[in-house]
Amino acid sequence: MSVDHVRPAEPTDPSSEGTGRPDDSSPRPVEDAVDSGGSSVRPNETTVPMLHCSSPEETLAFWRALGFAVTWEQLKPYVYLAFRWSGFELHYYARSATAPSPGQPGGCLVMVDAVAPYHAVFSAAMRRAYGRVLARGEPRITRFRPGASRFTVVDPSGNLITFIQRDEPAGLEYGGAKDLTGLARSLDNARILRDFKRDDRAAFRALNSGLRRHGDAAPAVEQALALAALIELSVALEEPERVPGWGARLRTLGLTDPERQQVTRSVSDQEVLAPWLP
């Protein structure tokens, strides 16, 4: 255990307390100082999320695998774990046996200048520890596309740690363009299902059907984008036996160098395409 931590008091279960919230939940401007009964309160506070931990052993193993330092490890008389990485911390407690089960997992938002480096570091750590990027179940990391402004790490207890770019656009483009037709429309629909609704199976079905119906008439680059997405989805769905068929078709397409780069950038884990787009 870290000597620079004060022993944490036994956490109070949030479910046993009130859930009162201010009427206006919109962000408020930060003042330089707050008048509090004659004393000045400086706006230099630090908040630390306390997340529910269903398995201390799995939680410790997961965050260590991602490179987090364990700054507090306590299992008795109650569970309390603390992790630190870069400039933020995550703390965990175990819900008491008498407390009601939470209806939804917990989570926190981590605001950063650029999200891509974080996703790259965590994905590389997963490959070293698990031999692959965890994309299903718990724990996992959501996919990251070029130009995306957020992604989420799901811990072994189902908590959502979402990394968000500080200057994320207020209006995000979710797809669903009505002027698209043929395979282009299938690709757009699959992207919505995969990236926003997080339904890999539905995305796979949409792409598989779209490629079968519209593939022959579609430009080579659209066929390649569909095949690349099907390869990535097959890996995520743990159906690797499908990959060689998709990959063989991808390899036969005559793509220009810019088109090959476009296809490679379309998947979050570019290593899955390496055997088919050398």
Ranges of each domain in the chain:
107-165, 182-273
Omega of the bond prior to 77 within 30 degrees of 0, cis? yes
How far, in Å, are 21, 110, 239 from residue 53 at the CA level? 25, 19, 31
Local confidence band at 100 (pLDDT 50, 70, 90 cut-offs): low
How far, in Å, are 2, 73, 91, 109, 167 from residue 161 at the CA level? 24, 20, 12, 6, 18
CA 236/CA 245 separation, integer angstroms: 16
Q: Which residue has the higher pLDDT, 194 or 80?
A: 80
Local confidence band at 32 (pLDDT 50, 70, 90 cut-offs): low
Range with the poorest average pLDDT among 137-151, 166-180, 197-211, 264-278: 166-180
* pLDDT at residue 2 tops 50: no
Does residue 266 sit in helix, strand or coil?
coil
Q: Note the pLDDT tens digit of each residue in 50-73.
A: 999 999 999 999 999 999 999 999
State the pLDDT at residue 24: 42
Note the pTM of the prediction, 2 decimals: 0.68
How high does pLDDT run on average in the chain?
84
Where do we find the tokens 């290593």? Answer: 271
Question: Contact at 8 Å (CB) between 57 and 29?
Answer: no
Question: Contact at 8 Å (CB) between 91 and 48?
Answer: yes
Where do we find the tokens 């593939």? Answer: 215
Q: Which residue has the higher pLDDT, 135 or 166?
A: 166
Amino acid of residue 165: Q
Does residue 235 sit in helix, strand or coil?
helix
Residue 188 makes CB contacts below 8 A (sequence gap 6+) with 175, 176, 177, 180
CA 61/CA 53 separation, integer angstroms: 13
Do the strands 160-165 and 150-154 form a parallel or antiparallel pair, or are they unpaired?
antiparallel
CA 244/CA 241 separation, integer angstroms: 7
Q: How far does Cα 183 stand from its chain's mean position?
A: 27
CA 25/CA 38 separation, integer angstroms: 27
CA proximity to 267, closest of 148, 126, 124, 112 = 148
DSSP tag of 4: T
